Amino acid sequence: MTMEFSKYHGLGNDFILVDNRHQPAPVLSPEQAVTWCDRHFGIGADGVIFALPGQGGTDYTMRIYNSDGSEPEMCGNGIRCMAKFLETLESTDGRAPQVPHTYRIHTLAGLISPTLQPDGQVTVDMGPPHLLAQEIPTTLAAAGEKVVDLPLEVAGQTWQVTCVSMGNPHCITFVEDVEAIALSTLGPKFEHHGAFPQRINTEFIQVVRPDYLKMRVWERGAGITLACGTGACASLVAGVLNGVCDRAATVELPGGPLHIEWRAADNRVYMTGPAEVVFSGSAT
């Protein structure tokens, strides 16, 4: 069976978007998604995102398979791409949304609300961060305690780490120079560390200024990527918890910058950044 798709990217974190509004289950299996994501023999992407019918009063449902076939709870860059994809689908259907426009999207991490902005950017209400060890989950602290600036042994070295869940798990460590990190070696060791029963996304953060952070990321199920939206959000939260950054800052990723704000007024994290279409096509 031939299926149409669109390729999008958010700061180089790229996804295959599929119009799945006609049924509540993804039209591809995880194994098929792996084939589509292959950069040599497939379309090539960090993951496949399915736009499904909404549930529980939401507009749509988002499901995503990583390039290794695993299914994360949600994806920050991915949901910005999905918002732009939905704008195109609705415009094609003759009901183009009036911008600014907010979608209510059901994800495995709960309700996420991206807003299309007049300048083409997408602002996402990522919800409140989850900070307790049982919410990550991790065994680095007691279930009801926060994991802030605690030691973790990885690759024969002690790293001071802070853990945050943005609906998916993140381990953040602050370093002097992110470019000096052997990411391809260290990333898998963090991801599969025994302290993280559901594996972990890992962010290495260099604080340039309180309002400017540099980040490199190893994503659970995808490896090295050019950007990670939930990781940028988790990193800013970790920076605030460690007293090294402001509540609003630019997070510079290899693919470009995101603006992240953790608002004290409502305890919610807001992410603003681009999402762009690359091409559309069909595949079997």
- Residues of the binding site for substrate: 13, 66, 76-77, 168, 201, 219-220, 229-230
Of 37, 163, 228, 233, catalytic: 228
The one-letter code for the residue type at 8 is Y
Cα-based distances in Å from 164 to 13, 43, 123, 146, 169: 21, 32, 20, 9, 6
Residue for token pair 């993804």: 26
Residue 75 annotated to the active site: yes
Decide if 178 contacts 253 (C-beta within 8 A). Answer: no
Integer Cα distance of 35 and 122 in angstroms:
29
Strands 60-66 and 105-107: parallel
Catalytic annotation present for 233: no
Report how far residue 281's alpha carbon sits from residue 284's, in angstroms, rounded to the nearest whole number.
11
* From 37, 75, 81, 163, active-site residue: 75
Six-digit token pair at 124?
Answer: 């996402």
Torsion of CA 116, 122, 128, 133, to 10 degrees: 140
- Binding site: residue ranges? 13, 66, 76-77, 168, 201, 219-220, 229-230
Is 35 in contact with 117 (CB distance < 8 Å)? no
Element (H, E) at 218: strand 212-219
d(CA 70, CA 28): 13
List the catalytic residues: 75, 228
